[in-house]
Amino acid sequence: LDVNAYIGNIVYNNLVNQTQYPGSWMITLSDFHVNGVSIGGINSLALIDTGTPSIIGDINQVSKIYSMIPGSSSNN
């Protein structure tokens, strides 16, 4: 890993065994931090796609994440 490409520690998560999105990586998301601030109150599944800048999950939680990132926007 290129230690200059990230800040903090790498955390590994178990993938959720699901059939709704074959070939996709889904994890249980319990919290999310933006600039060190927790958005809190999360307990849902999130689809992780390293090939796109998208955040896919519960619309209310994803909207809160985007609102905390200056200059970002959601396509819903």
Spatial distance between the Cα atoms of 66 and 73, rounded to a whole number of angstroms: 6
pLDDT in tens, 11-23: 888 888 877 778 8
76 CB-contact burial (10 Å; exposed 0-12 / middle 13-18 / buried 19+): exposed
Classify each residue of 7-21 as buried b or exposed e, where b means 16 or more C-beta atoms within 10 Å of its C-beta.
eeeeeeeeeeeeeee
Confidence of residue 76 (pLDDT cuts 50, 70, 90): low
Residue 33 bridge partners (DSSP): 38
The pLDDT of residue 11 is 84
pTM to 2 decimal places: 0.60
